[in-house]
A and B are shown apart, each in its own frame.
Chain A
Amino acid sequence: MAGKEKLWIQYKKKVLIIEDEVAILNGISDKFTHDGFLTLKATDGQTGLDKALKEHPDFILVDNLMPNTDGFYFLENLRKDKWGKNAKVIMWSNSHDSRTIARAKKIGIQDFMIKSEWEYRDVVKKVKEALGMKTGA
């Protein structure tokens, strides 16, 4: 039984979520887990970068405003890495600022999402679409 579970886990897509607000981090993480993903969690840019470069997740969801090292710190350093320069990333934030969005798009992201405008299930759907998975909707 344990062997089967391990095998199954190998096929699961891995999502790294970088979010300083623990309630949100746990909530969205639970949603991804519920929908069949393996999740990795980090609460600032540097921790997130370390996990990303070590674990090579299939997808990364990163907040913008975080204490110490923010989303841009993570993104800029990720793109310097050989693997990281092509990693799939969605930046999600409660900031609507056009300059923030433009800056993130210039560095290279799959999408920019306003947190308060999206249900968790729709965030998961968006990630599934970006990974070419069936959305079930």
Chain B
Amino acid sequence: MDKKNVVSAPKETIAKLKVSAKKKEATRGKLAVKAKTLRLKAEKLATTAKKKEGVRGRLVVTAEKLATTAKEKETVRGNLAVAAKKLALVAKEKEIVRSKLAVTAETLRLKAKQLAVTAKEKESIKNKLEVTAKQLALVAKEKESVRSKLAVTAETLRLKAKQLAVTAKEKEVVRSKLEVTAKKLAVVAKEVELANKELRELDLAKDEFVSIASHQLRTPLTALKGYTGMLLDEDAGPINDKQREYLKEIKNANDRMIDLITALLNVSRVDLGVFVVEPESVDLKKVAESVLSELEMKIKEKGLKMSTSFEKNIPLVKADLKITRMIFQNLLTNAVKYTPARGSVSLNIKKDGSAILISVSDTGYGIPEDAQSKIFTKMFRADNARLKDPSGTGLGLYIVKATVEQTGGKIWFKSKENKGSTFYFTIPLSGMKKKEGSRRLE
């Protein structure tokens, strides 16, 4: 310490130093206490250490004991592991035994079921056997019955065999007779064949005769037609009205006779079946128009209203042109002839299914109901038609029907007296059937 400072130190500082000394004294006191406390603690710790030493000693003993125990435990553990292994093996064996037992149990269960089924089956078989036994008993009875019958049959057969032996002899006789008959029949067949041939020849001869006869009949009529025509043409000089009237009557009668001969010739050919059908491609519209142009004068004379209806795309059809024309001519001529002045006639051609349908309608005299069933009959003429026009032959519709039907078509009509008639006929789209023959229709 600096004296100067000490000398010169203020009172405050001395005070401070006094306070500090007091604090130091206090601290010293505290430290003494603490030292005491620590001494005490040290003593306690020494005591504790002594105690710990005692405890450690005991612990060592205990540890040694524990070590001994551990060794013993290890030995026991080893023994236990061995025992556990043994137990595991025993457990496995037990598991195997258990499985075997389970299988055995299942097998036993199945066997039990089978036994149950077998028992039922046995029952059923027993029943069946009983039934079979009954049936066998019945069969045995039947066999017995059959055996008896067979015995009877055998006897019968023996008798029949005897009879057959007799019959065989008779058959031999019959066979001989049949052979004779067969020979006779062969002769008869030849005779029939010859007769048929002769009949065919006879038919042809008949047709030939009719052809020649009609030719011969037509020859003088042709002369008559020619001369009458020349007289009417006034080639031999002027004629007066009366002469013209008479000559016209002669001409009409002559034409009627020519028509009749032609019709009879056609009837003969239809009836004898000797007419030819030669189908060729025919345009029905053209045929109709050609026939109508021939009738144009008569249609005009009577002031008839003529209408036609031709369906579009009517195909060409395989038909015999002459026969087709004859059918159109006949039906249209009839319609014009038997329709009063200023009436109507119409012609319609259309496709109808597998055929072409041609219809000719008129508003004419019609066919009386009682005459309708006979209208296609040879030489038949309805009374009203006969009155209106005595010149008809009564053969036209007969020939038309025969030719339509013999060429694969159909013909029919609807008519009401004084109202008119409609005649229908068809030509198959597949065409008329070709027919061999010796003559054409005229």
A residues bordering B, Cβ < 8 Å?
21, 23-24, 27-28, 30-31, 34, 65, 94-98, 114-117, 119-121
Contact = CB atoms under 8 A, between A and B. Distances in A.
B215 A120 contact: no
**A-B pairs with the 9 shortest C-beta distances?**
A96-B442, A23-B223, A27-B226, A98-B440, A94-B218, A115-B222, A119-B229, A120-B226, A116-B258
A121 B229 contact: yes
A120 B251 CA distance: 13
13 contacts: A21-B223, A24-B219, A24-B223, A24-B226, A27-B223, A28-B226, A30-B235, A31-B226, A94-B218, A114-B442, A116-B221, A119-B229, A120-B226
B237 to A, nearest CB: 11
Contacts of B219: 21, 24, 94, 115
Nearest to A65: B215
B225 A119 contact: yes
The majority secondary structure among interface residues of chain A is helix
B238 interface: no
Contacts of A114: 442
B282 interface: no
A31 B226 CA distance: 9
B223 A120 contact: no
A96 B322 CA distance: 11
B382 interface: no
Interface string B180-199: 00000000000000000000
Interface in B25-69: none
Contacts of A115: 218-219, 222
A116 B218 contact: yes
Interface string B200-236: 0000000000010011001111110111011001010
A23 B440 contact: no
Interface of B: 211, 214-215, 218-223, 225-227, 229-230, 233, 235, 258, 262, 276, 278, 439-440, 442
A125 B120 CA distance: 117
Contacts of A98: 276, 278, 439-440
Contacts of B439: 97-98
B222 A94 contact: yes
A116 B223 contact: no
Nearest to A122: B229
Nearest to A22: B223
Contacts of B222: 21, 24, 94, 115-116
Contacts of A27: 223, 226-227, 230
Given A23-B223, A24-B219, A94-B219, 6 more contacts: A21-B219, A34-B230, A97-B211, A98-B276, A119-B226, A121-B233
B364 to A, nearest CB: 26
Contacts of A21: 219, 222-223
A116 B233 CA distance: 18
A60 to B, nearest CB: 18
A96 B230 contact: no
A23 B230 contact: no
Most chain A CB atoms below 10 A, which of B222, B223, B230, B235:
B222
Contacts of B276: 98
Contacts of B440: 96-98
Contacts of B225: 116, 119
B355 to A, nearest CB: 26
Nearest to A64: B215
A77 B286 CA distance: 38
B345 to A, nearest CB: 24
Most chain B CB atoms below 10 A, which of A23, A116, A117, A121:
A116
A95 B210 CA distance: 12
Given A30-B235, A94-B218, A95-B215, A120 B258 contact: no
Contact of B235 (A24, A34, A96, A97): A34
B230 A120 contact: yes
A75 B225 CA distance: 27
A34 B278 CA distance: 42
Contacts of B226: 24, 27-28, 31, 119-120
Contacts of A24: 219, 222-223, 226
Nearest to A98: B440
Nearest to B233: A121
Nearest to A31: B230
Contacts of A94: 214-215, 218-219, 222
A121 B234 CA distance: 12
Most chain A CB atoms below 10 A, which of B211, B218, B262, B276:
B218
A64 to B, nearest CB: 10
A30 B221 contact: no
A108 B78 CA distance: 145
A98 B276 CA distance: 9
A57 to B, nearest CB: 20
Nearest to B322: A98
